[in-house]
Chains A and B, each alone.
Chain A
Amino acid sequence: MTGPEDGSRPYLPRGVRLRWCAVRGAWFLLAPERAVKLDAVGSAILSALDGERDFAGVVAKLSADFGAPPEQVATDARKFLADLMARRMVEAA
């Protein structure tokens, strides 16, 4: 799986959501039979998926928020999302 195209809009489908766990002090991505503990980068990427922004927009936002080079952000975010898309935890419209 290659991950989202620049013009496609990635989103969390129904039944997949972010949740802050106060007991563990960490963000989790909750999905059917899965709870993925997220680091700061993972939770930032997923928080940027509002279903409106296309992938290029997601990269622009993260790049601005973190002051990171867009090419690097695009590579990392695409790889991260590709893995979740293969497991049907992220979809792209």
Chain B
Amino acid sequence: MKKQILALFLAVGVLAGLLGGCREATPQNSTASSTNAPSSQAPQKAEIAVGIAQDLDDSLDPYQMTAAGTREVMFNVFEGLIKPDSQGNFVPAVAASYTVSTDGCTYTFPLREGVTFHNGKECTFEDVLYSFQTCAAVTVNSSVAAALSNVADIREENGGVVITLTAPDPDFLSMAASVYIVPKDYDGQATAPVGTGPFRFVSRSIQENVILERFDGYYGAKPALERVTYRIFSDGNALFTALNSGALDLVAHLTVDQVESLTNGYQILEGTMNLVQAMYLNHAKAPFDNELVRQALCYAVDVDAMLALTADGHGAKVGSSMYPAFGKYFDSALADRYPHDVEKAKALLAQAGYPDGFSFTLTVPSNYAPHVDTATVIVEQLKEVGVEAKLELVEWETWLSEVYAGRNFEATLVGFDASTLTASAMLARWVTGDGKNMIGYTNPDYDAAYAAARDPAHTEEEQTAYYRQCLEILSDTAANVYLQDLADFVAINPALTGYAFYPLYVMDMSTLSFQ
């Protein structure tokens, strides 16, 4: 009887497989035209539907928004005096150009002519001043707030903005880029944001969509797309189904398994997520206070095998707290500092006083599948050296309050990205006593190297060398079990071109166009 039931399942499975097989033979172009999705008229109306995995559920105010997903979308609406390009350089935006004084304390931004806000108002010095002052006062990004507290004076000079700092700050440009310029005396930013970017905000339907439209008064090159609808899918599987059905034109942050399961003939682009995924270890808790134990875990984990399992080998090993897009600082040699070596791991554990291994709880936020997948594999790999990791999935919000803020964890597997395009965005957090040093890393050598890197007395080359030294220290002391910068797959309607990957977590809609 059991066999018959089994056979029945198999028959049903095979049938479904056949159906799937037949489906592949149908011409791909029917995908977009036979649906009643809004995207079906896309080629004529130059509008696209983009699938995103989380709602823009925080404030849309540029200084209040916190979620990476919100910043990713609003990048198209807001601009600073300068903005990053896809190469990681800063290009003039609201400012026409910029110059830095030789002492590194005075920045001059001549304002561009004819920049208007989405509400039709012209952008003036008053707006820039207001933006900097408001941002300094209310921003939720503590590193931007810290950088702005260093501003001594902002004044108007020959139709430009001159900013004077109390002390030179090598990262000031990237901080300035995150001060979005908004119109003075407009108080609707939280729900109806107004900026100067190539797209203007049209509407937000909770958990349904966010609509942007081309801003025809944009000073720069006008985007080819007239309208971008971000459709929100709180469930990753539903997002995938919608993509596969042709309801969406563009979805980013897919995994290789999803991409390979896709059957709608979309083109696939591969980039990186620009984050450092690692098993972050709480140094305040035994046995992770022991460097030998941490090193043993590094040897026990086989990153290549993990990449093969979770991503068919896609993704870049990192080895320290820096991802490859930061070419200046990234050291690929560190990625192989701890080759997979079970015997060595066992020996180190024995030396540390744990010959029979130990057990710990690995807390992982459940909302992001790739971290859960990685953790699933790591748990199995650690068993080989006798270390039992108990996987505990928590909501992202619980993770934020308990693990990140409360530091109540043993080990956690997440990815850290850079909120600004600076080395310090990745490295400041490991300085002893830093508010964001969730693992409680304490190392005088590291602190000294980091302080030297930040010292304006050093040349840029010297600073870079010190930052690289920081990375080596993190790797040598096995601060965390560093894993990878995840591969970021983008599936895109074959008719669309011009997608650009950024070294930041943003998606630029202004470069996209239909062929």
Judge: A and B partners, yes or no.
no
